[in-house]
Amino acid sequence: MRKILSVSVIALVIFTSCLKKDTKCGYSDSTVVAPDSEQKALQDSLTAHGITASLHPAGFYYKINSQGSGNSVANLCTTLSVEYWGGFFNGAGFDSSATGSPVDLELGRVIAGWQKGVPLVNSGGDITLYIPPSLGYGPNPLTNQNTGQVVIPGNSYLVFKIHVTNIQ
């Protein structure tokens, strides 16, 4: 009986040590890829504004201004501290962090373009993302909850300048 119990305990220990640790990350990696028409429109906007950027397989464009040398993103549950500016190709901004005051956010809670783009740099890095609607806010306008005013029209092409100050 002791041998059976000992073998059972050893088997249980081996089995549980082989199980993956649950990271309690409830976010799923987005598989959305921008349609060719959005990628082409985005490329045309970049060309019209004299911007050179790289195409990501998900269909957005990016420019790494500084890679950074700190931590990298582990998964969508990674908490980031960022300073950012979000706007449109015409230079109008719709949102930004206060200068010198990073915002903490969990990567899984932001738009797909950020989820795919921000991990391209490490802590201390700077990246500019050029995001088509399908990886941004989509066809529906984003409105100010207090005033009802449209902040981001539906099907908008977005520009984000992001400085990753910390990755936890």
pLDDT on residue 151: 95
Report residue 6's pLDDT band, with 50, 70 and 90 as the boundaries: very low
Residue 108 lies in a domain: yes
Tell me the percentage of the chain whose pLDDT exceeds 90. Answer: 80
Tell me the percentage of the chain whose pLDDT exceeds 70. Answer: 86
Residue 70 lies in a domain: yes
pLDDT on residue 12: 34
Position 5 pLDDT exceeds 90: no
Residue 20 lies in a domain: no
pLDDT on residue 23: 53
Residue 156 lies in a domain: yes
74 and 122 Cβ atoms separated by less than 8 Å: no
pLDDT on residue 42: 98
Look at the chain and report how many structural domains it folds into: 1
DSSP string, 89-146: TTS-EEEEPPTT--EEEEGGGS-HHHHHHGGGS-TT-EEEEEE-GGGTTTTSPEE-TT
Chain-centre distance for alpha carbon 9:
43
Convert the pLDDT of each residue in 77-114 to its tens digit.
Answer: 999 999 999 999 999 999 999 888 999 999 999 999 99
Residue 42 lies in a domain: yes
Convert the pLDDT of each residue in 19-63 to its tens digit.
Answer: 444 457 888 888 999 999 999 999 999 999 999 999 999 999 999
pTM of the model as a whole: 0.84
Q: What is the CATH number of the domain that holds 135?
A: 3.10.50.40
Residue 67 lies in a domain: yes
Residue 87 lies in a domain: yes
Residue 24 lies in a domain: no
Domain that holds residue 97: 33-167
